[in-house]
Chain A
């Protein structure tokens, strides 16, 4: 009838259990709640029918259809039907009465079911995407997840639906890292490096310190975070393994140790070090510990960002007077080429999927600092945010959204905007702590 593609997620399952084990000693962090501020007019009407629960295990709280609907809704590109408005609750394509769904003005329908795996160690989630108008099955898949990973399985379903309908991979089954600050400005100020699912659920505190933490960044396999710590009173770059809980100081030189960025192969870390007198871009070989200086200019050179193929490094430099984005070959040979020309201030580049778009902190004068996208092909800049102190842009791994930090009523919080500027989200922390320095993980394989 239809072919069934299976994706096995056993490696992920094991990994996520390790993550839990490594972090169990830390109390859970507060959870982010995501609100849609602006969606797209004419978002695609879709219905995700409740998945049938065919397992001997008690049904967990994670409601797959609800999670898939919430993911699709959050993207701003879909308008999922509320479960209470559904007349039918089919869980298999054979049970679908297309006429009913056409009357409800739904274009697409997702149905599915969950059952135990034969070894009893997890769940098998089977799901189908149907075109309500033609009655065709667009997608039929099954995936296996571990006992505690049903939420992540649901995000995978949302990713598959998103890709089938939009032709772009989804980024729902990903994580975000951010810094939460408790007791800002008080004696008891506490900085926490937190990792959560991309929908804000399942927050885990990875590092806690009374000294500032900044610039978290993901390894390409999403197993590690590099960040800047002031735990010793001076800056140092630390690599934290999320599964083993181990951490390693990779740079604690005289002066600034900052702005880490993993190379796409995960073997190197580009950083900004001022041990030579002024901040320069260096590359640290993580295995041998060897360091190599790439820039040689008395100005500030920081915020390296690798091109997806690892051939080039973008960075911020004020060698022309004010901070602008430059690009150089990753071996440091040749002169860096200036990339941004519009505005007095462009910094902190985050590279989009095909290296065409760079998300930056932009300021026209020195009044408002906003998130903008620079188009490498047209050399045009498009301002996406409207805050006064927006910073730390981080592209979703599918290039669809840019996550960033903003201010609202004197507090810092996270926000996200679609690359075309049409969809806006607020990410609000339930306990009202300051949240900043977001970093979106790569796609998790």
Chain B
């Protein structure tokens, strides 16, 4: 092989590498990709799949279940209702795929009754989510439960609408 050919090959290789690098780096900042030649077939690799629960970008993607991080509970109950299971399973998948990620499961209660008992109730809710995540093979070192009881309400009126929003576990990523 002569020198000229080698040179061309190297340049092409560099160009390909640069293109690949650009793809991954620029992707998050390119909400509108240039109109593709065939409008139907979008290249899958360039698009963020909201069902890819291993991708950290989906934590901030409103279309992805990973962006949902609050589980709500019934009064004096700590069982996770079935409609919240998919959210917990999505986070379990993420945590399995990202072993350095850490979450704090913040348990909360509504304002009714005793503050100390509500601390216990908040923890019990946090534990329910913790157990489900571990049942989905998330190592416990990635999880921590903390209860704030009724001390950190998101809503401050004394009615059921508000209480419902306060009886919750927040899945808070302390490391992604």
Report which A residues bind B (CB closer than 8 A). Answer: 184-185, 212, 214-215, 230, 233-235, 255-256, 258-259, 272, 274, 278-279, 300, 302-303, 316, 318, 322-323, 345, 347-348, 361, 363, 366, 369, 388-389, 391-392, 407, 410, 437
Q: Answer whether residue B123 sits at the interface, using C-beta atoms and an 8 A cutoff.
A: yes
A-side contacts of B116, CB under 8 Å: 214-215, 258-259, 272, 302-303, 316, 347-348
Q: Answer whether residue B111 sits at the interface, using C-beta atoms and an 8 A cutoff.
A: yes
Asked if A256 and B123 make an inter-chain contact with CB atoms under 8 angstroms apart, the answer reads yes
Total A-B pairs in contact (CB under 8 Å)? 91
Question: Can you name the residue of chain B whose Cβ is closest to the Cβ of A304?
Answer: B116
Q: Answer whether residue B151 sits at the interface, using C-beta atoms and an 8 A cutoff.
A: yes
Cα A391 to Cα B119 with chains together (Å): 14
B-side contacts of A215, CB under 8 Å: 115-116
**If the complex has contacts A185-B156, A366-B75, are A391 and B120 also in contact, measured as CB distance less than 8 A?**
no
Cα A185 to Cα B115 with chains together (Å): 17
Contact with A along B124-168 (1 / 0, CB 8 A): 100000000000000000000111110111001110000000000
Of B76, B147, B156, the residue contacting A256 (CB under 8 A) is: B147
Asked if B120 and A256 make an inter-chain contact with CB atoms under 8 angstroms apart, the answer reads yes
Asked if B158 and A389 make an inter-chain contact with CB atoms under 8 angstroms apart, the answer reads yes
B-side contacts of A322, CB under 8 Å: 76
Q: Answer whether residue B95 sits at the interface, using C-beta atoms and an 8 A cutoff.
A: no
Q: Answer whether residue B85 sits at the interface, using C-beta atoms and an 8 A cutoff.
A: no
How many residues of chain B get a CB closer than 8 Å to chain A's CBs?
A: 25
Of A233, A234, A323, A410, the residue contacting B117 (CB under 8 A) is: A323
Question: Can you name the residue of chain A whose Cβ is closest to the Cβ of B124?
Answer: A300
B-side contacts of A233, CB under 8 Å: 146
Question: Can you name the residue of chain B whose Cβ is closest to the Cβ of A272?
Answer: B116
Asked if B148 and A184 make an inter-chain contact with CB atoms under 8 angstroms apart, the answer reads no
Q: With both chains docked as a complex, state the minimum distance between the C-beta of A145 and any C-beta of chain B, in angstroms.
A: 37
**If the complex has contacts A184-B156, A214-B151, A388-B158, are A348 and B114 also in contact, measured as CB distance less than 8 A?**
yes
Report which B residues bind A (CB closer than 8 A). Answer: 75-76, 111-117, 119-121, 123-124, 145-149, 151-153, 156-158
Q: With both chains docked as a complex, state the minimum distance between the C-beta of B73 and any C-beta of chain A, in angstroms.
A: 14
Cα A272 to Cα B157 with chains together (Å): 29
Q: With both chains docked as a complex, state the minimum distance between the C-beta of A149 and any C-beta of chain B, in angstroms.
A: 34
Cα A389 to Cα B156 with chains together (Å): 13
Cα A272 to Cα B147 with chains together (Å): 13
Asked if A316 and B114 make an inter-chain contact with CB atoms under 8 angstroms apart, the answer reads yes
B-side contacts of A389, CB under 8 Å: 111-112, 158
**If the complex has contacts A234-B146, A255-B123, A302-B119, are A323 and B114 also in contact, measured as CB distance less than 8 A?**
yes
List 28 A-B pairs, Cβ < 8 Å.
Answer: A214-B115, A214-B116, A215-B115, A230-B148, A233-B146, A234-B146, A235-B146, A256-B119, A258-B119, A259-B116, A278-B124, A279-B120, A300-B117, A300-B121, A302-B117, A302-B119, A316-B114, A316-B117, A323-B117, A347-B116, A348-B117, A361-B113, A363-B112, A366-B75, A366-B76, A388-B158, A391-B113, A437-B115
In the complex, besides A185-B153, A361-B114, 8 extra interface pairs with C-beta distance below 8 angstroms are A215-B116, A259-B116, A348-B116, A361-B113, A363-B112, A391-B114, A391-B115, A410-B157
A-side contacts of B149, CB under 8 Å: 214
Question: Can you name the residue of chain B whose Cβ is closest to the Cβ of A300?
Answer: B120
**If the complex has contacts A256-B123, A272-B120, are A345 and B113 also in contact, measured as CB distance less than 8 A?**
yes
Asked if B117 and A303 make an inter-chain contact with CB atoms under 8 angstroms apart, the answer reads yes
A-side contacts of B121, CB under 8 Å: 300
A-side contacts of B114, CB under 8 Å: 302-303, 316, 323, 347-348, 361, 391-392
**Lowest 5 CB-CB distances: which A-B pairs, in order?**
A300-B120, A212-B151, A347-B114, A348-B114, A279-B120
Q: With both chains docked as a complex, state the minimum distance between the C-beta of A224 and any C-beta of chain B, in angstroms.
A: 19
Asked if A366 and B120 make an inter-chain contact with CB atoms under 8 angstroms apart, the answer reads no
Cα A165 to Cα B113 with chains together (Å): 38
Of A235, A303, A366, the residue contacting B147 (CB under 8 A) is: A235
* B114, B146, B158: most-surrounded residue (chain A CB, <10 A): B114
Q: With both chains docked as a complex, state the minimum distance between the C-beta of A231 and any C-beta of chain B, in angstroms.
A: 12
Question: Can you name the residue of chain A whose Cβ is closest to the Cβ of B115?
Answer: A214
B-side contacts of A388, CB under 8 Å: 158
Asked if A366 and B112 make an inter-chain contact with CB atoms under 8 angstroms apart, the answer reads yes
